[in-house]
Amino acid sequence: RLDKLLEKEIILICQLAAALLEENPLSVKKAATIQRISDKTLRRLIASRSNESAFFNCHITTGKIRSTDFKALLKNQPAFIADLLHKSQNLALLILCMKQPVLTFPMLGNATYMSTATLHRRFVSFAQFLSPYLIAIDRRTYPFVKGNERQIRFLLFKLTTFLLPSLYDSPSRLYQHFFDIHTLRQQAIYPSASCITVEEIRPRCFVPDYYLTTDTAYLFLWKQLLAQETFFVPPHDATLISRIVDSVLQNHVDQPLADSLSQIYQIHLVCALLEGNIFVFQPALLSLSETTVQLIQSFLLQLPHYEKLLKKHPELPLLYECIWHKQSIFQPMLTIKKHTT
């Protein structure tokens, strides 16, 4: 529910960029229909400064919208998203509250130039965005972000990395950023609280117990997930998953089968460990590959508790698509389809 967090103009620009990646040039009428707005509103949006970006700019000629540098948008999607989201006051406000959880309404008002009434309205909307992540905002005395610390730290990590696309070029810096978020939250108000509580992990069978013993073990898991340490699939799980997917992937995946098996296992682990959409910023994908469809069917028939995992995370098919297209599941994307110009 990014519409509950980001300003409407930012959402519309993102949708327009995704549409142009599918069809360039794109008729104004079709683009307006896709976004459920009037032609006039769309034209006003394109004429506004919100459309200005080093990575994305478009204009209208003879009733069609054209991206002036389509290749730049295609190659620099994370940078474009960062450039656009830096314009969001709402995102900056939520991140500030998650980083400094004891700021009062007057302090936030001074920092954001918003009235207390405006802040309250924003936080009501934010609560709807945060709810699927099991996170809430208590507004009784000051806006206090509360919930499972594992969830808060993951979401803060995702939201802040949207603004720092260069991190994706360096796994070590990406993990360091995750560690910094972990430490910041721990020092801010939860010096003795654990972020690895097990009550909300479901289905539990996908997460090995040894990752949930201490914060050190949990951080080691993230070192593995963010490519700082080698990820080893437990032998029993490796045998089971290999037996299920071998026939599906053998002739369809352009990478070593062992790598794909490891990534599939990691995806299942992350989905069991965390609540809410793993992407946060949902990729635009109009159709699933035959490989993904076959894989899901095989898992539903043969992998215990998989149906519960798929119900919890409907974005699982897109996570598999990231493997086939060699994309990180932690990287924001507008689209994961391959395009040619």
User: What pLDDT, in 10s, does the model give residues 272-325?
Assistant: 999 999 998 876 665 788 999 999 999 999 999 999 999 999 999 999 988 888
Share of the chain above pLDDT 70, in %: 90
Please state whether 227 falls in left (phi above 0), alpha (psi between -120 and 50) or beta: left
Whole-number Å distance between alpha carbons of 161 and 22: 26
The mean-pLDDT minimum among 230-234, 272-276, 332-336 falls in 332-336
pLDDT above 90 for 245: no
Q: Residues 103-120: what's their mean pLDDT?
A: 90
- Quick one: pLDDT at residue 88? 93
Q: Residues 166-173: what's their mean pLDDT?
A: 90
Whole-number Å distance between alpha carbons of 112 and 334: 29
- Quick one: pLDDT at residue 70? 72
Contact 113, 107 (CB under 8 A): no
Q: Is there a cis peptide before residue 203, judged by omega within 30 degrees of 0?
A: yes
| pLDDT per residue as tens digits for the range 1-14 | 788 999 998 988 88
Whole-number Å distance between alpha carbons of 192 and 195: 10
pLDDT above 90 for 332: no
Cα 73 to its chain centre, rounded Å, is 19
pLDDT above 50 for 341: no
**Which positions ≥6 away from 36 have C-beta within 8 Å?**
none
pLDDT above 50 for 20: yes
Whole-number Å distance between alpha carbons of 40 and 122: 27
Contact 297, 225 (CB under 8 A): no
What type of residue is 257? L
In terms of C-beta density within 10 A (0-12 exposed, 13-18 middle, 19 or more buried), how is residue 106 classed?
A: exposed
| pLDDT per residue as tens digits for the range 201-223 | 889 999 999 998 888 999 999 99
- Quick one: pLDDT at residue 339? 43
Contact 258, 249 (CB under 8 A): no
- Quick one: pLDDT at residue 303? 95
pLDDT above 90 for 250: no
Average pLDDT over the chain, rounded to whole? Answer: 87
| pLDDT per residue as tens digits for the range 32-80 | 998 889 999 999 888 876 556 777 788 888 899 988 777 777 778 888 8
In terms of C-beta density within 10 A (0-12 exposed, 13-18 middle, 19 or more buried), how is residue 276 classed?
A: buried
Contact 15, 58 (CB under 8 A): no
pTM of the model: 0.89
Contact 309, 316 (CB under 8 A): yes
| pLDDT per residue as tens digits for the range 75-96 | 788 888 898 899 999 999 999 9
Whole-number Å distance between alpha carbons of 45 and 310: 37
Contact 272, 203 (CB under 8 A): yes
Q: Alpha helix locations (H) across the chain?
A: 8-22, 28-35, 39-47, 70-75, 77-85, 89-99, 105-112, 116-130, 149-162, 171-188, 215-225, 235-249, 257-273, 290-302, 306-312, 316-324
pLDDT above 80 for 261: yes
